Structures are given as C-alpha cells and as structure tokens.
Amino acid sequence: MSVVVRRTNTFAVRPLSAQDEQLLRELLDAAASLWNELTYERRQHFFDGESVWDTADYRTQYVGVLGSATAQQVIRKNSEAWRSFFAAQEAGEDTAPPGYWGNEDEGRELRTYIRNDQYTLETGERSRLEIPVGQDLKDEYGLGYHDRLRLEVAGDPKWEGEQGRLELYYDEVDDTFRAIQPVTVPDSRRDSPLAEESAALDVGANNLVACTTTTGQQYLYEGRDLFARFRETTEEIARLQSKLREGRYSSRRIRRLYRKRTRRRDHAQDALVRDLMERLYDEGVATVYVGDLT
C-alpha cells in the first residue's frame, strides 16, 4: 500500500517594488482583519453558550480585497482552529479558544492562506511566486482584471510533490516576508534516515545546544548573541517603563517590544531545531538523546 506524508518548503519572498510591498501588506492586513472579526464573533458565541458556526458572511465582506478563494481559505483555517480546540476539549486538555492575529492599535500579524490552485510558484534561475488579489486592490494599484501580484522568491525547495495551501506571512523579527508551502510526497522519499546512528544533545544557556553524533560529528549552537539582544530589549523595556506616568504600567511601544522579543526568541529556536534536524538526518541519525554529554 502506498503511503504519503506531508512536508513543507520555506521561502523568503520579496516584493519587486515599494508599491508591490504596500499592496502585499494591505492584502495580508485584510486577511488578519478577517480572521480577527470572525474570531471575535465566534468567541462571543462560545462564551454565550451558542454555536460558533453561525456567523456573518465574511467572505462577501472581504472578497474585494482578498478575492473569493483567499477569503474562503482564511475562514476555513479559522474553522480548523476551532475544530482543533473542541477536539482538545473533548480529550480533556486544558486549552483556550483560538486567539487573534494582533490588533488594529498595536498592529495586526500580517498573514494569509492561499488555496493550492490559486498560486503559481516557480523556482530556478528566476524564482517567482504569483498570488491572487481582490478586484478592489487591483483597481487601487493599477492591476488588470486577469493580473496577479508577482513576487520574487529566494530559496530552493527541499521537497517536490503535490502542492498544498500556501501560508504567506511577514516575519517581523527578520523584516522579511515568507512563504510556507506544504507538499505531499511518497513516504519513501527521505521519510526516514538512511542509517541507525545516534546523537546526544546537551541543552544549555550560553551554548544553546551542543551535539555529538556516533559518526564523530559535533555541532555547537551558541546563544550569546541571542541573549545579548534579549537583554538589550529587556533594558529598553525597563527604560520606557520608568518614563511612564504614575499609574501606568505599559504602552503601545512597550507591548510591541515584548512581542518582538518573544518572536525573536521563538524564531531562533525554530531555526535551530530545523537546521540541527536536517544535519542529523544527513548523518543518518535515527535516535536522539537529550542530557549531559559528560
């Protein structure tokens, strides 16, 4: 029996002009606004003991900016988040209802989802990504009826297969737009390591991870720069808090710094794990032990 698995390709995405970047930001912000409006209504229904599925027609409200298919994908992703929440509740897990993608005052998280048959991703000498745009945005930015937004793509796909729904978002930490493309591949294609080697990890502070494999390879991921940036941001937060008038404990700028600090940490951790796992796979490592290497 043939078995398939899901894998993901990640790319950096670059608008070709300042106008294209502004268009892209408006598109992602509108998707976040749709998510937040739908989430708010569903949270209100949930806390009132009503069905979360009976909501306003947000697809119609956002079709002019996002296009019908993209608006529907954001709504579908939101529904998936709520179904996962209810499933976790039924399993007895302590979990919270789906949350918001930022807010209008402090800035929304720029993100959207694009149906697999609505985007074109070509990689090679001149890699590019083309995505749909709602007619209102096309009119505002001078795009033709059949035009799509064309973006430059950096990065080579690790996996090839049937493409899935594309996630497109703005990485605030690196000031970069990114695309995550799920693909469906046969399980025989790099689904498991080609050997049975082992690796031991030592997780620390200044050195985030030290790794030694039975093949003789050693990997060291230092955390000094990350901690230095974390400390600088913390000191800036403390400085701003000291300037607040009596009775105030936060501000828009302070909350933004907190959010940026958290995202920077999470991004560094995710990048570390992704890089290390790819290296260990190439070494044929099938088992990883976490603990003191000494």
Which stretches within 169-246 are classed as H helix?
A: 224-242
Domain count, the chain: 2
The CA-atom distances, in angstroms, between 173 and each of 14, 20, 33, 177, 257 are: 15, 21, 21, 10, 11
Range of the structural domain that residue 95 is part of: 4-186
Phi, psi angle pair for 147, to nearest 5°:
-75, 150
d(CA 266, CA 227): 13
Q: Which residue type sits at 187?
A: D
Question: Within this chain, do residues 142 and 256 fall inside the same structural domain, yes or no?
Answer: no
Question: Within this chain, do residues 163 and 40 fall inside the same structural domain, yes or no?
Answer: yes
Question: Within this chain, do residues 182 and 201 fall inside the same structural domain, yes or no?
Answer: no
Provide the pLDDT for residue 147: 95
**What confidence tens digit (pLDDT) does each residue in 238-291 have?**
888 888 888 787 888 888 888 778 877 777 777 788 788 778 877 888 888 886
**What confidence tens digit (pLDDT) does each residue in 191-226 have?**
555 667 888 888 776 677 888 888 888 888 887 888
Provide the pLDDT for residue 4: 57
Residue 192 included in any domain: no
Residue 261 included in any domain: yes
- Given 124, 154, 186, the domain boundary residue is 186
Element housing 7 (H / E): strand 4-15
Angle at 217 between CA 216 and CA 219, to 5 degrees: 145
Q: For residues 148 and 67, is the Cβ–Cβ distance under 8 A?
A: no
Mean predicted confidence (pLDDT) in 146-175: 89
Question: Within this chain, do residues 128 and 232 fall inside the same structural domain, yes or no?
Answer: no
